[in-house]
């Protein structure tokens, strides 16, 4: 879905210089020292469930659904007690809710059988759960356990290519480049900074370069017309 847009993002954009990357992230850190996920949760299990439900959906839509869901089912055991129809009744406003409900219940069953109802904290174990891919595992490892992982979603993929920060043709390629290029002090929070930048400023159709704090370090800005006064 995002790959056809790649040539437009990378054409004529120079790779960001190593010296500029430090300033790029220092600027983001100054503006938002402690960035947080916009998904609402109060436990590691709730975070896992919310991230699983957020695939191809907005955080806003997921939060609206989980606000009611987590009041009645905030543990794997309680989620399983709802059953498929019960769970679907809470998340039917979220895209692909039927398959997500099945995956979430399967995941809850595995958590009960193998992990005593707790969310595992290794990549291998997380990725073995139904509906949990590399991106979801990276979010849980980063947000819940503070590991310097990089969950490359549409926003991070776009920002990394458009700015020249970490150009790549696949999410995995971008992820590995980001982990190499981002200075160590910024790696834990870099995931959130880049998502927020892509979501609210470096948008897909109309990047808001004229109000972007890190525009001085991005080659794309010179090719974007500023709004008329």
pLDDT tens across 104-154, in order? 999 999 999 999 999 999 999 999 999 999 999 999 999 999 999 999 999
- Please give the pLDDT value at position 228: 55
Residues designated as active site: 135, 153
Domain total in the chain: 2
Shared domain for 25 and 107, answered yes or no, is no
Residues near 76 by beta carbon (within 8 Å), at least 6 away in sequence: 45, 107, 108, 109, 111, 112, 117
Shared domain for 125 and 186, answered yes or no, is no
Shared domain for 53 and 101, answered yes or no, is yes
- Please give the pLDDT value at position 129: 97
Please check the confidence at residue 2 and state whether its pLDDT lies above 50.
no
pLDDT tens across 25-47, in order? 999 999 999 999 999 999 999 99
The residue segments making up the domain with residue 188 are 3-35+149-220
Q: Does residue 175 fall inside a structural domain?
A: yes
Shared domain for 11 and 100, answered yes or no, is no
Q: Does residue 229 fall inside a structural domain?
A: no
Q: Where are the beta strands (DSSP E) in the chain?
A: none
φ/ψ bin of 96: left (φ > 0), alpha (ψ from -120 to 50), beta (otherwise): left
Summarize the confidence of residues 65-73 as an average pLDDT.
Answer: 97
Single pTM value for the model: 0.88
- The C-alpha atoms of residue 157 and residue 161 are separated, in whole angstroms, by 6
Shared domain for 64 and 123, answered yes or no, is yes
| Structural domain ending residue among the three candidates 143, 174, 209 | 143
pLDDT tens across 139-195, in order? 999 999 999 999 999 999 999 999 999 999 999 999 999 999 999 999 999 999 999
| Structural domain ending residue among the three candidates 112, 143, 174 | 143
Where residue 106 sits, what CATH number does that domain have?
1.10.340.30
Shared domain for 28 and 52, answered yes or no, is no
């Amino acid at each position: 879905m995002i790959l056809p847009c790649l040539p437009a993002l990378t054409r004529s954009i120079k790779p960001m210089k190593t010296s500029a990357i430090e300033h790029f992230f220092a600027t983001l850190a100054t503006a938002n020292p402690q960035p947080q996920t916009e998904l609402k949760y109060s436990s590691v299990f709730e975070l896992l469930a919310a991230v699983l439900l957020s695939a191809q959906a907005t955080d806003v839509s997921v939060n609206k659904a989980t606000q009611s869901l987590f009041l009645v089912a905030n543990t794997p055991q309680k989620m399983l007690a709802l059953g498929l129809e019960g769970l679907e009744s809470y998340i039917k406003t979220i895209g692909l809710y039927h398959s997500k409900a099945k995956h979430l219940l399967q995941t809850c069953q595995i958590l009960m059988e193998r992990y005593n109802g707790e969310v595992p904290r290794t990549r291998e174990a997380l990725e073995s759960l139904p509906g949990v891919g590399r991106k979801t595992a990276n979010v849980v490892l980063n947000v819940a356990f503070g590991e310097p992982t990089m969950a490359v979603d549409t926003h991070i993929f776009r920002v990394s290519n458009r700015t020249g920060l970490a150009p790549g043709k696949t999410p995995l390629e971008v992820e590995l480049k980001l982990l190499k290029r981002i200075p160590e002090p910024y790696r834990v929070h870099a995931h959130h900074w880049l998502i927020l930048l892509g979501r609210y400023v470096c948008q897909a159709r109309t990047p808001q370069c004229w109000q972007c704090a890190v525009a001085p370090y991005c080659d794309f800005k010179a090719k974007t017309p500023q709004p008329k006064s």
